[in-house]
Structure 1
Amino acid sequence: MAASAKLYPNYDASVWLRSCEQEVTEPLDGEITGELPAWLRGTLLRNGPGSLKVGDMRFKHIFDGSALMHRFAIHEGSVTYQCRFLQSSTYKRNQAAQRIVVREFGTKAVPDPCHTIFDRVASVFKPDETITDNAMISLYPFGDEIYAFTEAPAIHRIDPVTLDTMERKNMMDSLAFVCHTAHPHVMPNGDVYNLGMSVVKGRVQHVVVEFPFTEKGDMFARARVVGSLRPRWPLHPAYMHTFGITANYFVIVEQPLAVSLYGVLRSQVSGAPLGDSLHWYPDQDTHIVLISRSTGQELRRYCTEPLFFLHIINAFERDGTLVLDLCAYKDAKAIDAMYVQAVENMQSNADYAEWFRGRPQRLELPLDATTPARVAARPLAALGCETPRIHYDAFNGRPYRYFYAISSDVDGENPGAVIKVDTWTGATLTWSSADCYPSEPVFVPAPDAKSEDDGVLLSALVYGRDARRVALLVLCARSLRRRALAAFRTPSPAPKCLHGWFLPHAPQA
């Protein structure tokens, strides 16, 4: 093979390797083609890795990049764009030192010459000082407040207009959370649920916590544990990025990607990256556990073949069966594929596309206790997809038909594609444009929507050859035809983002 040949000629991985060098604090006006729906008003907030550089150093994993908030404000036929770095403690410490001084998922921190081995051992008992609070994965509302999330205990309140970092909350203080998922569930009544790992009477447990909605007061102060589960491997609890919720159950997936608690303690002392404590066990089944929402107790446990997942699409109950849809992989190589060195070398790695070969799959769990507890997954569609979204407000935890995602097939003809899947028929629709890379498509229902897919999809776009162009794409959710595009010229490179939230009729700057 010639040195210049590319195994995946249609995929430009540079969109993941960019570093924003200049924030956009004053809103930029978008150049709009097409026509925005007259009813579409609000703010799309996005989160993701904004910079891989600190001084002369560089992070080693995409998950380590400094969190960058993005804001697309839609008002009366116009769209504006802003971006700002999350002012986390980690970001401030790194910037002050101009070095990476806090360890991340894939990056070891620079040793502090003033700290002895005794200091590092003592840090085990002061984890808040050594655990990163770089919340670069998602954004979720708690009442009328917006918080940036990662899987570490600290979350940050964000001003949805200015993107200022307003407040830091540490879940270890009130809930003894060692970690939690980056994807809580927001219920129609405003209550929020999240799944975390906590230490209860010296034992590690997975706990589901409810944050009851209140118009006045602190939702976090009212938090309470409403469900718990002991890990099947007490010293190696499963890694969990999302969980499911239905009318009667919390749905917990214990995959054979586990966190070594001994490894975490060792890395605390040695300063090794947190990712070194993750281990994949290929000979172990994946377990799906149902916790009763009424009693908080484990009701039933199912097992299936080993699979790795990050995102659950949806879960619901129907005719005596609990249906669980997720984006599944045969192993955890997708995490390895997001190391910076792996991304840089992907064009010469014949296995790279297979590492990302995730597929939407369905597991049907019989609720009748007399039926076998071993289940098999079946494909929902014959394509790779990630960051799935549904018509969340109306169909989360309920029978649904459609979900939307972006392509995970880096070897595809159009690897930068928005995807719509009909779970009833397996039919798919796609939208793509040359050299264009969409983010997670967020569904916004039309006023008085008559069907599940009556509305639009919003997706933030970046481009391969033009690193300083970012755009907001508006698609018809029914047909995936483009309705409008708002394009912006940014003063520095625009990195690809991960997850976000849409605030309808949000206040405008």
Structure 2
Amino acid sequence: MSAVLERTSRFADSAPAIDSTAFSRLRGFHTGAREMGDTVCAVHGRLPVWLQGRLLLNGPAVWELPEGAYRHWFDGLAMWHRLQFAGGHVLYRSRLADSQSARLARAAGRPVMGEFATADTEPWLSRLTHFFRPRASDNPSVAMSRIGERWVACTQTPHLISFEPDSLATIGELAHDDDLDLALMAAHGMTDSRGDYWNIGIEFGRRCTYRLFRIAASGTRRESIAAIQVPRAGYLHAFARSASHVLFVEAAWRAQPLAFLFTRRAYAANFRWEPGSASAIHAISLADGSVQRWETPPVMSFHPVQAFEDGRELVLDLCDYPDAGVIDDLALDRLRAGVRHRAAPRLTRYRLRPGCADAQIERLGTGFELPQIHPSRPEQGAARWAWGAGYDAGERNHFLDRTVRIDLHTGDRLEWQRPGAIQLEPLFVPRPGASDEDDGVLLVPTLADGDASTVIAVLDPRRMECLATIQAPQVVPFGFHGVFQPR
């Protein structure tokens, strides 16, 4: 068992447990979803006539196998889900990703490859054949991106798995014709207006190197744009882009390269929380690849909200945590028992001023994660509105239970809740031709106590009112992120 999960078993919490069987909202953390062909979804209310295209959802779906099980939310074998919108009707389809990690697990009937909190079981003799290049999971359970017209998904390793967005068939791993030697990679890539794909990988050596790279819309080569060397790289899940810079946080949850190279421990067990070392924000110029750096107090983070220029200052809005305890909060035994999280994500604004060594910090709110803004904002300027999954940090809640709209100018919140429901990432879909950044809909996967299956809520993102609901034909396991592909 990994160090992270050994610690989890020792945590006690006085919050009451919730039954995660029968018709509880917590069924979304259990194995049970099936592969399904096109199936009609019940629609209640009226869908906007312009909402035409595909909603793609991604996430873990299989945690239990005949001879063993995964122990962390992040570890489950990936499944893709497609909801096709056309003429006011919706068709659902689901399919398991055909990764090497999944094939080995199915053949053995238990977890085989190392995952986020699951150790690798490769025998030592086999490992010696590639000792300095340990194998890494290709389970594409976190985020989906587009490279030109191709769709890919990945976890937090350098494997990009291509899939077909209508049938959800796995095409295979994207092969790169370059010599980059990346050990880790942010789960969230970013596609620009030309269809080029951007991401940041981490190389191990005497010092760790963050490397910003780009893949052209029609290519496979990872073109190195900039490299930043640090003694030990911090955990990197995602990054932000303004009109002129790429920004990312060097978290104080730091990689131990020798552990990655010479042990078979789980991904998370190869990081260590180092509160004595400051975190940092790095800004890479898109014009010339030059780098600026600002220090911050030690933080942990998954998701930035946005980055933008404010005069001569750079600004980064970020969902952050005071430490890495959130990793243990997301272990399956705690989630399935409905145990209250101990640390709430904070919505924080970091102002990065020329000539200053430290970032200037403003708190905009708390209990806000899985953020969304209008998809054009990274290249068009600052967003005013952000939407996310949240909760009231002062209550004894059990998981994300509301959808939140935040005014990034004032911090004011507007919320929508289904009674007794878990509500995941609200995907913002802009109305075609609209000029206002909040003109569109939010698509929110939810599961409430008593629901027969997952309900996708269609919300007005201005008034935070429900326009319609879509009843999926099964419980969609709780995943992380979605994308919308307009018709």
**TM-score between the two structures when normalised by the length of structure 2:** 0.90
The answer to whether structure 1 residue 403 and structure 2 residue 386 are counterparts is yes
Work out the CA distance in 2 between the residues paired with 1:364 and 1:412. 32
**Percent identity between the aligned chains?**
27
**Which residue is equivalent to 2:311?**
319
**Which residue is equivalent to 2:32?**
20
Q: How does 1:147-226 map to 2 (within 5 A)?
A: 147-170=152-175, 174-198=179-203, 204-214=208-218, 219-221=219-221, 223-226=222-225
Task: Please say if residues 253 and 324 of structure 2, whose CA atoms lie closer than 8 Å, have aligned partners that are also in contact.
Answer: yes
Partner amino acid, structure 2, of 1:220: T
Q: How does 1:373-452 map to 2 (within 5 A)?
A: 373-381=357-365, 383-396=366-379, 398-409=381-392, 411=395, 415-452=400-437
Instruction: Indicate how the Cα distance of structure 1 residues 174 and 438 shifts in structure 2: closer, same or farther if over 3 A, else same.
Output: farther
**Which residue is equivalent to 2:352?**
365
Work out the CA distance in 1 between the residues paired with 2:108 and 2:28. 25
1:234-262 deviation digits (Å, cap 9, x = unpaired): xx211111112222222121111111001
Q: CA deviation at 1:390?
A: 0.5
Task: Please say if residues 314 and 396 of structure 1, whose CA atoms lie closer than 8 Å, have aligned partners that are also in contact.
Answer: no
**Which residue is equivalent to 1:280?**
273
Instruction: Indicate how the Cα distance of structure 1 residues 95 and 455 shifts in structure 2: closer, same or farther if over 3 A, else same.
Output: same
Work out the CA distance in 2 between the residues paired with 1:327 and 1:308. 9
* One of 57, 75, 99 as aligned partner of 1:88: 99
Work out the CA distance in 1 between the residues paired with 2:465 and 2:19. 22
1:5-61 deviation digits (Å, cap 9, x = unpaired): 84477996724521135211x111111111100111010101111111121311011
Work out the CA distance in 2 between the residues paired with 1:5 and 1:276. 27
**Which residue is equivalent to 1:59?**
70
Instruction: Indicate how the Cα distance of structure 1 residues 164 and 29 shifts in structure 2: closer, same or farther if over 3 A, else same.
Output: same
Task: Please say if residues 417 and 430 of structure 1, whose CA atoms lie closer than 8 Å, have aligned partners that are also in contact.
Answer: yes
Task: Please say if residues 153 and 172 of structure 1, whose CA atoms lie closer than 8 Å, have aligned partners that are also in contact.
Answer: no
The alignment's C-alpha RMSD in Å is 2.5
1:317-341 deviation digits (Å, cap 9, x = unpaired): 0111111000011111111111223
Provide structure 1 residue ranges, at least 5 long, that are not aligned to the other structure.
Answer: none
Task: Please say if residues 359 and 384 of structure 1, whose CA atoms lie closer than 8 Å, have aligned partners that are also in contact.
Answer: yes
Instruction: Indicate how the Cα distance of structure 1 residues 68 and 138 shifts in structure 2: closer, same or farther if over 3 A, else same.
Output: same
- Report SS of the residue matched to 1:354: coil
**Which residue is equivalent to 2:228?**
229
Work out the CA distance in 1 between the residues paired with 2:126 and 2:428. 49
Work out the CA distance in 2 between the residues paired with 1:362 and 1:502. 28
Task: Please say if residues 19 and 337 of structure 2, whose CA atoms lie closer than 8 Å, have aligned partners that are also in contact.
Answer: no
Partner amino acid, structure 2, of 1:343: L
Q: CA deviation at 1:344?
A: 4.1
- Report SS of the residue matched to 1:353: coil
* One of 293, 304, 319 as aligned partner of 2:296: 304
Work out the CA distance in 2 between the residues paired with 1:294 and 1:453. 30
Work out the CA distance in 2 between the residues paired with 1:464 and 1:83. 23
Q: CA deviation at 1:174?
A: 4.7
**Which residue is equivalent to 1:353?**
341
* One of 477, 480, 483 as aligned partner of 1:495: 477
Work out the CA distance in 2 between the residues paired with 1:13 and 1:376. 40
**TM-score between the two structures when normalised by the length of structure 1:** 0.87
**Aligned positions, number:** 471
Q: List, as ranges, runs of 4+ consecutive aligned residues in structure 1 with deviation greater than 3 Å.
A: 3-13, 170-174, 344-347, 394-397, 408-415, 463-466
**Which residue is equivalent to 2:6?**
none
1:194-228 deviation digits (Å, cap 9, x = unpaired): 1111358x7531111112234xxxx213x311111
Instruction: Indicate how the Cα distance of structure 1 residues 250 and 450 shifts in structure 2: closer, same or farther if over 3 A, else same.
Output: closer
Work out the CA distance in 1 between the residues paired with 2:13 and 2:413. 34
Task: Please say if residues 311 and 327 of structure 1, whose CA atoms lie closer than 8 Å, have aligned partners that are also in contact.
Answer: yes
